[in-house]
Structure 1
Amino acid sequence: MSRILIVDDNEQNLYMLEVLLSANGFQVLSAPNGAEALSMARNSPPDLIISDILMPVMDGYAFCRECKKSDRLKNIPFIFYTATFTEEDDRKLALSLGADCFLLKPTEPEELMRIVRSLLAATESGVHGGAPGEEEEDGHFREYSEALFRKLQKKMVDLEKTNHELEHEIRERKNAEKELQQLNHALEERVAERTALLAATNEQLREEVTRSKQAQEEIALLNDVLLKRTASLEMLNRELEAFSSAVTHDLRAPLRSITGYTAIVREECGEAVGEAVLEYLRRIERNTSRMNELIDALRGLSQASSATIHPNMVDLSDIASEIATALHEGNPERQVTFAIADGVAAEADRPLIRSALENLLNNAWKYTRRKETARIEFGIIENDQRVYFVKDNGAGFDMRYVSKLFTPFQRLHHQEEFEGTGVGLATVQRIVHRHGGNIWAEGKVEEGATFYFTLGRAVPDWQSEAAIGTVSH
């Protein structure tokens, strides 16, 4: 009984192939990625291999190359079976690596079984030729490397277009939120106006009853408009959240593809191409890494806008101390003094407020790295309301551009000076606004910056009225 190894990270695909092959009298082995499949094949070589291409740990291309390098495995018939890599360049690359067949999902079961039996019969008769020779690979080297590079460029253009579309959706959502706030303000003014009229003298009561009825009709009309606007905004929010989730998920697959192709070109072609091409590959890798950071930042911004709030009494001093400790442990050679006020607490959603403090303290840590004596403070100011603050003596900023601080993707420093995505402070602002508070900043170039924020929920009376003492880290 012939033994067939199938390799696919999709459990449904594995199951369907196992059922089909078993029903046709074959013994079936399976693996979720190329690395596990390679280990199984080396321990006990199968009679034929059917493999997907896009898989974690080790993709199908890399798995095929490793098989064809092995004297023990190189003559085993190898079938690529894919639904992701469907272009002619993909087929040519697969066959140049030594694959015997390149099939697209789904293939009719009868056709698939015909190909499997044909390859097994050819192997038994000694017709199968094994891995391609070095002269054949050298002949196709330039053609395939150039095709791969064009494919990578196309993927980068597609990613940039998707990013622009996402930025447009974010602006549309911001405009919708502003429109709803204006509508709420207009409604409040109308209600206040009609309420004042109802407080008129008894001589005007009959007239005021009529006016009150008109006011109620207007309020009902405004409420109806408000409900429709609210429903529209909620639908837009759900669509934007679904879009953001889909985009952040779907963007990762082409990024993995770009990274995989880049690794293939560097491994297969690294010694043959010039330093200029290698530099292009390094630039592609840096840009895909940057794109991954942007995806994570956008996902955090979306979660800050849509996560359900569960307010509880939270010790902000403890959270700030934990973050400071983590920063020191991650970069122990830096000399930074943290001054964290004791007993600072607030009624807030713990995961969201922790995210806000992490962004603010990470910013302070980043922008003080050029200071020999860096200092970062967290505390509270007691005036008419409680104002929390994070202060540092780092790079600071020009107050002329303060309005750009909380706008997504707006940065006041070059990427070469200080790394970042430009989304962190926008995420903090969303979190503060969702707690009914406000956030603002003050700074001066090379003299540091201070970020102030309020929270809508008051701290109970049993909390201390002012910050007493500090803890140094």
Structure 2
Amino acid sequence: MRGIVESATDAIVILDDSGNIVLFNFAAVTMFGCSREQAIGTPFNRFIPERLRADFAAQLLTQREESHPEQGGASAEVALAMRSNGEEFQVEISFPQVLAGTSEVRTLILRDITARVRIQKALERSNLDLQQFAFVASHDLKTPLRSIGGFVQILERNHAASLDDKALALIRRTSDAVRRLEQLTDDLLSYARVSSHPKPFILVQVREVVNDVMQLLGAAIDDSGSVVTVGDMPEVLGDRTQLVQLLLNLIGNGIKYCQGRTPVVRVSAHRAEREWVFCVADNGIGIDARHHEKVFEVFKRLHTQQEYPGTGIGLAVCRRVVEHHGGRIWVESAPDEGSTFSFTIPDTSAESSSP
């Protein structure tokens, strides 16, 4: 047993009833920069910053009262520790309680998570920087794009009579390109806003959200002759604007990606465990199984602009909105067999009613 303890990569420290160290393995020596001779017999709280020692002592007491030796009683928490040179660092600490004969042995297992925390913070900063870049770049692009679009319209309106067919075709292509760029900047702004400008969640009637979406898609529904049916919808805790955006993208895609037939879209919801599962099913062109994950990535498009216009950001926005609400999103589909996009949102009523 001692060989296993000594070869462990995590620091293992055993305390007596008074909180003094009786075992200090090699990983603990390395972690705290303190020899066994210096550690054995001293209070473990010497390795806790002084301002936190009272809280740590209370935590040890709580763990002792709540843990059960026969079950292992292990739980893990993040805490702030201190090396022998005074340097503070974060550790993941677990408190397994075991029996040695008839006595309970308080064991601490510690893992230095300094590198993990550093990487996590770097990723958070990187994501924030990317969001800010997308927001600023998209916002700053809108003004010159409007100017270009305006100048092209003036050119076509005032000088169309003096231009040949080739020049007019170039103007139309320029206007189309400007419109696509404006749509792209709008979509980028939407993508960046999901996480960078969060609003407090409120109770939202999803049926009202769907009604708003139906109004926004009114022209597309009328032009395509689409049939959109909506089942009973629950009340959820969320960002109403983002939920409109989510269902606008999913229902809009069901109408758009339909060829040679009348689009039929069904919106439904059912409760499962402690969450609501929403489904948007269509009879469209479908998606090959190898693309089921890729469609939720930014700028992933499975079709050309000529086939189906778009920016490839809509489903990425959907995934970000769903994850922001603590849910998940997936698609079930096959080519020419339609698609069913499903997503979940936690059922807060279940949480509030649970004991």
Please say whether Structure 1 and Structure 2 have the same fold, judged by a TM-score greater than 0.5: yes
- 1:346-388 deviation digits (Å, cap 9, x = unpaired): 222222222211111111122246423x321111244445321
The AA in structure 2 aligned to 1:322 is: D
Residue 141 of structure 2 is matched in structure 1 by 251
Q: Which runs of 5+ in 1 are unaligned?
A: 1-187, 464-473
TM-score normalised according to structure 1 size: 0.50
| Equivalent residue for 1:332, pick from 208, 213, 222 | 222
Distance change in 2, residues 1:343/1:242 (3 Å): closer
CA distance in 2, matches of 1:242, 1:364: 31
Residue 441 of structure 1 is matched in structure 2 by 331
| Equivalent residue for 1:379, pick from 268, 275, 297 | 268
- 1:202-225 deviation digits (Å, cap 9, x = unpaired): 35989864xx2xx44x3xx41x44
- 1:70-106 deviation digits (Å, cap 9, x = unpaired): xxxxxxxxxxxxxxxxxxxxxxxxxxxxxxxxxxxxx
TM-score normalised according to structure 2 size: 0.64
1:400 maps to 2:298? no
1:237-316 equivalences under 5 Å are: 237-263=127-153, 266=156, 270-316=160-206
Larger Rg: 1
Alpha-carbon RMSD: 3.5
Distance change in 2, residues 1:204/1:235 (3 Å): farther
SS of the residue aligned with 1:346? strand
CA apart distance, 1:226: 4.8
- 1:210-262 deviation digits (Å, cap 9, x = unpaired): xx2xx44x3xx41x445544543443344333322321222123323433553
The AA in structure 2 aligned to 1:424 is: G
From the two aligned structures, give the one with the greater helix fraction: 1
Residue 412 of structure 1 is matched in structure 2 by 302
Do the aligned partners of 1:347 and 1:459 also contact (CA within 8 Å) in 2?
no
Do the aligned partners of 2:233 and 2:269 also contact (CA within 8 Å) in 1?
no
1:454 maps to 2:344? yes
1:321 maps to 2:219? no
CA apart distance, 1:291: 0.5
CA distance in 1, matches of 2:189, 2:232: 32
Residue 389 of structure 1 is matched in structure 2 by 279
The AA in structure 2 aligned to 1:401 is: H
CA distance in 2, matches of 1:194, 1:462: 30
Count of residue pairs brought into register by the alignment: 267
Distance change in 2, residues 1:262/1:336 (3 Å): closer
Do the aligned partners of 2:135 and 2:188 also contact (CA within 8 Å) in 1?
no
CA apart distance, 1:392: 0.9
The AA in structure 1 aligned to 2:175 is: E
Q: Which has the higher contact order (CA 8 A, sep 6+)?
A: 2
| Equivalent residue for 1:431, pick from 290, 296, 321 | 321
CA distance in 2, matches of 1:205, 1:424: 61
Residue 98 of structure 1 is matched in structure 2 by none
SS of the residue aligned with 1:447? coil
1:32-43 equivalences under 5 Å are: none
SS of the residue aligned with 2:345? coil
Q: Which runs of 5+ in 2 are unaligned?
A: 1-75, 80-91
